Amino acid sequence: MTRIPFRIGQLWRTTTVRLTASFILIFVVFSVLLLAFITFQSSIVIQRQQAADIDREVARLQRIDKQQGVRAVAMAVGKLAQAPGPGIYYLGDAAGQMVVGNVSDFPVSVFRADGIYNFSYQRQRPYDPDATDDTTPFPSGVAVVRSVVLQNGMRLIVGRDVVERRGFTAIIFQGFFYGVLGILGLSIVAGALTARRVLRRIDAINATSTMIMAGNLAKRVPVTKRKDEFDGLAINLNAMLDRIEQLMQGLKDVTDNVAHDLKTPLTRLRNKAEAALRDTSGEAEKREALETTISESDKLIRTFNALLMIARAEAGAPSGALTDVDISAVVADMAELYAPVAEDAEMTLETNVVEGIRLRANRELIGQAVVNLVENAMKYWEPAGSAAPGKIAVSVRRFGGRILIEVADNGPGIPADERENVVQRFVRLEKSRTEPGSGLGLSLVAAVAHLHRGIFRIEDNVPGVRAIIDLPAA
């Protein structure tokens, strides 16, 4: 039982219930205003109708008086006075003595002059043979009457009991009261039901997040077939969770790879240092060991930096890192930087750069990516195995809504089934295991392409590799 107030309290805190409550309030206020207006309008109509009725009856009685004389009028008034209803009738002589009628205690002014009067009066109790209690006062009424003098000086008063009219208003009010009460009740029930439904769906999301926070990253928010806003939210949340899981997986991969690819050379480094320490050999050997240590640690740092860069690029760049960059100029710079190197390696480096291609980009990363591709092309070219002279073609061009940065070579190429693999972190083709390098070059290129919302792909250049950084132009 103690849970109920808690639940109600909880319900009250929900947005749905509060919204429902404010809607009910607004609805009631407007209903009251509307009803007041209707009541006011209808009472005016009723009032007019009563006035018209009174005027018609007076005119008719005056006509009877003119045509048939006072006796006929007295009989007509007597008949009217006995009919049940709100009618008020009086016929009296000039002295103020009632001849026939159902009300006599008019204010004095009514007898003095013709006109329309409003007043409260004491109604006469109709004769009831079965009545036992004659002492209880009959309720007083409010009347509107018209007073006229007939041809022979007798006074005719015709009117209506207004209380009857007021009764009508009371009925409207009563109906309205119960109506509002019903609406209030129904709204509360409907609000509570909606809130419960909404709460249940939110509870499902909360439960999922709790499980995810507890470490179960594979958990997903349930999506119904209703396609409502909650499903929209759930779908987005799930997409976000997928992305987070992917990033977490990436992080795990990085740590695994760091563990493997950094620990191995670190161990080597340590062994070398230990060997040098143990060694009884001369100063020159010790010096050489130290120099190896430094160059090994430089390599380690380079690998580590590349890893960090990839991780950051894959995680998406801070928006501040992207500026308006002349991609053509960056690629041309890199080609110019590497042309002499290629020449020394007895290769040619051709450039085919369309001028003035600009993009919001990270200039350093684009440059680094192009350098990685060029270095890769040079590294894997096999002078002995190739009949044709080594050739690297670097180009930038627009293609539809895309910007394509291509580095193509005529080297040994990459087997089709391994093209996807080389883009992965640390993957190096079996053949190239012995080559120097961290094996991160192409994965960095892929990460840079991803950072710029593009893709990196490798195609066959027959023979050789065509590496393409494919970026959206805007």
Partner 1 sequence: MKILLIEDDREAASYLIQALDEAGHVTHHAADGETGYAMASGMDYDVLIVDRMLPRRDGLSIIESLRAEQDKTPVLILSALGEVDDRVTGLRSGGDDYLTKPYAFTELLARIEVLARRSSPGEAATSFKVGDLSLDRLSRKVERDGETILLQPREFRLLEYLMKHAGKVVTRTMLLENVWDYHFDPQTNVIDVHMSRLRSKIDRGHSTPLLQTIRGAGYMIRD
Q: Give the binding site for partner 1 (CB under 8 A).
A: 294, 297-298, 301-302, 305, 308-309, 312, 318, 320-321, 333, 336-338, 340-341, 344, 362, 364-365, 367-368, 371, 375, 378, 436-437
Closest CA to 152 of 87, 64, 79: 64
* Complex with partner 1: residue 22 or 297, whichever CB lies closer: 297
* Complex with partner 1: residue 241 or 330, whichever CB lies closer: 330
- As a whole number of angstroms, the distance between CA 401 and CA 472 comes to 6
| Residue 344 C-beta: closest distance to partner 1, Å | 6
Closest CA to 348 of 317, 383, 313: 383
| Residue 30 C-beta: closest distance to partner 1, Å | 57
* Complex with partner 1: residue 257 or 362, whichever CB lies closer: 362
| Residue 378 C-beta: closest distance to partner 1, Å | 7
| Residue 234 C-beta: closest distance to partner 1, Å | 35
Q: Where are the alpha helices (DSSP H) in 225-282?
A: 229-257, 263-278
Closest CA to 368 of 435, 431, 441: 441
Helix%, strand%, coil% for the chain, nearest 5: 60, 15, 25
Q: Which helix (H) or strand (E) holds 143?
A: strand 141-149
- As a whole number of angstroms, the distance between CA 235 and CA 223 comes to 7
* Complex with partner 1: residue 14 or 362, whichever CB lies closer: 362
Closest CA to 310 of 359, 264, 237, 261: 261
| Residue 351 C-beta: closest distance to partner 1, Å | 14
Going along 278-371, which residue ranges are E strands? 323-326, 347-353, 358-361
| Residue 365 C-beta: closest distance to partner 1, Å | 7
* Complex with partner 1: residue 191 or 439, whichever CB lies closer: 439
- As a whole number of angstroms, the distance between CA 455 and CA 445 comes to 9
- As a whole number of angstroms, the distance between CA 273 and CA 296 comes to 11
| Residue 281 C-beta: closest distance to partner 1, Å | 22
| Residue 321 C-beta: closest distance to partner 1, Å | 5
* Complex with partner 1: residue 137 or 318, whichever CB lies closer: 318
Q: Which helix (H) or strand (E) holds 405?
A: strand 402-409
| Residue 275 C-beta: closest distance to partner 1, Å | 22
* Complex with partner 1: residue 141 or 390, whichever CB lies closer: 390
Cα 446 to its chain centre, rounded Å, is 35
* Complex with partner 1: residue 365 or 467, whichever CB lies closer: 365
- As a whole number of angstroms, the distance between CA 80 and CA 84 comes to 9
Residue 40 near residue 64, CB atoms below 8 Å = no
* Complex with partner 1: residue 67 or 319, whichever CB lies closer: 319
* φ, ψ at 234 (rounded to 5°): -60, -40
| Residue 333 C-beta: closest distance to partner 1, Å | 6
- As a whole number of angstroms, the distance between CA 457 and CA 467 comes to 6
Q: How many CB atoms lie within 10 A of CB 422?
A: 22
| Residue 245 C-beta: closest distance to partner 1, Å | 25
DSSP notation for 113-142 = S-EEEEEEEPPPPPP-TT-----SPPPPEE
* Complex with partner 1: residue 204 or 254, whichever CB lies closer: 254
Strand partners, 101: 90
* Complex with partner 1: residue 271 or 297, whichever CB lies closer: 297
Peptide bond into 463 cis (omega under 30): yes
